[in-house]
Amino acid sequence: MTLDQAYVNQIFLPATYAGGVPYGIFRELRATAPVWWVEEPAVGEWPSGPGYWAVLWHGDVKHVLRNPAVFSSQSGATQIRDPDSAADLEFARAMMLNQDPPDHSRLRRIVAGAFTPRALGELAAGIERHAADAVREVRARGEADFVGLVADLPVRTLAWIMGVPEQDRQLLQDWANRVIGYQDADYAHSGTAGPAGLSDIGRAALAHRPTARTTADGRPVNPRSRAALADMFAYAHALAERPRPGSMLARMREGGLDTAEFETMFFLFAVAGNETVRNALPGGVLALLSHPEQYRLLCERPELVPSAVEEMLRYWPPVVDFRRTAAQDVELGGRLIRRGEKVVVYHASANRDETVFPDPDRFDVTRTPNDHVSFGFGPHFCVGAQLARLQMTAMLRRVLAELPGLALVPGAAPDRLVSNFQNGLKHLHVRWRPRS
């Protein structure tokens, strides 16, 4: 069977995801071939790219992710879109996410101590308290935007781990919006944190917030470049002068990182430490409320919350895809991939692979086993996976217990993030039976 190239290209176009992840297209592609060539047409002000190989089957996705010697994170970094310049690529390569072993292993060891069982145990009480406070604040209203209800939990948690003063946590939100939502007009230039209430270094950082949206030669500024995040890096360096003992920032400072490694590590945790929970939990709750029999089951059997969290992560993966670059000529899924070509693994497709997940389009809070790849696989398996699970579990338990009769607000459609990378919601209006 031959599919029209324009049809295949839809899995690349950000506008496709404004209507939801194209699971129907992924299903049709998987049924025809495991690997597809996808073009990169120009999108708005962003120029066209050379194209890439899309990997859609669960087993092939795992194969790519577990073999960095063949499918490199460092060669071209891990975003579909190529960095705009050699300088941008060099900067991106300094990030732990964009490195291969052994350099990746060295950087991971520096931060891994913040995510040990003991460290997470020390965080658990604070996470439970923040979840309780967030639900208590809205409980009597009977209605809320669930995205807003959830958003502050990962930011508060992240601020504590990194040693960011709590009054500056809205800066973390803005930086994450600008990076993960650069394809969405509502998030691309997020600047909700004003000087009032910020720390002195927070106020100083605002002076570095970029205002230019194009480079001197008229190209759009790369949202993941040093220039686009000058305010974040100014803040990071200022905070590093007085890190809280034991914080992630203190670990980074003591770990012997060079300037680019320090900046990109701060970048990675300020963004990745935020997006998983804020994408996966609202999306998971939308899936739960769209399957009322599963919501009723979970209310009746709250001991199923851990497996429900795993199903939310499978059904609504926070990240749609990640890129690698072929380090050598290689055959995958019957396709010859040449050295230097882009290879993009689609977590969203792998999580619905019919050969791994029976009835994969069914949302089932009792599903077991649940071998989803929402946290990746291999050397780059998400270092904060257990922290994300801890936060999602705490918030979901609190919502089930204290917001009875939770349901979607009729006529208020979920507002999706426009992104071919992040699977997010900007708004999700829910209601419940209020309690005094």
First vs last C-alpha separation in the chain: 60
Confidence band for 243, pLDDT divided at 50, 70 and 90: very high
Decide if 380 is inside a domain.
Answer: yes
User: Where residue 254 sits, what CATH number does that domain have?
Assistant: 1.10.630.10
Mean predicted confidence (pLDDT) in 124-141:
96
pLDDT at residue 33, as a whole number:
96
Question: What is the per-residue pLDDT across 330-357, written as a single tens digit (0 to 9) for each?
Answer: 999 999 999 999 999 999 999 999 999 9
Decide if 436 is inside a domain.
Answer: no
Instruction: Report the number of distinct structural domains present in the chain.
Output: 1
- % residues pLDDT > 90 (the chain): 86
Joined together, the tokens standing for residue 140 give 């009597």
Confidence band for 211, pLDDT divided at 50, 70 and 90: confident
Joined together, the tokens standing for residue 321 give 């895809």
CB 268 within 8 A of CB 233: no
Tabulate helix, strand, coil % of the chain (nearest 5): 50, 10, 40
Residue, of 69 and 272, whose pLDDT is higher: 69
pLDDT at residue 275, as a whole number:
87
pLDDT at residue 173, as a whole number:
92
Confidence band for 283, pLDDT divided at 50, 70 and 90: very high
Burial annotation 379-410 (CB, 10 A radius, 16+ → b, else e): bbebbbeebbbbbbbbbbbbbbebbeebebee
Decide if 71 is inside a domain.
Answer: yes
Inter-residue long-range contacts of 247-253, CB under 8 Å, 24+ positions, other chains counted: 247/161, 247/162, 247/163, 248/111, 248/114, 248/161, 248/162, 248/163, 249/162, 249/163, 249/164, 250/163, 251/110, 251/111, 251/113, 251/114, 252/110, 252/111
Decide if 365 is inside a domain.
Answer: yes
Residue, of 191 and 310, whose pLDDT is higher: 310
Confidence band for 436, pLDDT divided at 50, 70 and 90: low
- % residues pLDDT > 70 (the chain): 100
Q: List 214's β-bridge partners, or say none.
A: 220
Decide if 203 is inside a domain.
Answer: yes
What distance lies between CA 266 and its chain's CA centroid? 15
Question: What is the per-residue pLDDT across 25-82, written as a single tens digit (0 to 9) for each?
Answer: 999 999 999 999 999 999 988 889 999 999 999 999 999 999 999 999 999 999 999 9
Joined together, the tokens standing for residue 317 give 């993966």
Mean pLDDT value across the chain: 94
User: Which are the contacts of 196, defined by CB distance < 8 A and separation ≥ 6?
Assistant: none
Joined together, the tokens standing for residue 390 give 């801890």
pTM of the model: 0.95
Evaluate if residue 195 carries a pLDDT over 80: yes
pLDDT at residue 1, as a whole number:
54
Evaluate if residue 168 carries a pLDDT over 70: yes
Decide if 300 is inside a domain.
Answer: yes
Evaluate if residue 118 carries a pLDDT over 90: yes
Question: What is the per-residue pLDDT across 102-114, written as a single tens digit (0 to 9) for each?
Answer: 999 999 999 998 8
pLDDT at residue 3, as a whole number:
87
Least confident of 211-215, 332-336, 364-368: 211-215
* Structural domain containing residue 367: 5-431
pLDDT at residue 82, as a whole number:
94
Decide if 180 is inside a domain.
Answer: yes
Evaluate if residue 228 carries a pLDDT over 80: yes
CB 14 within 8 A of CB 41: no
Decide if 141 is inside a domain.
Answer: yes
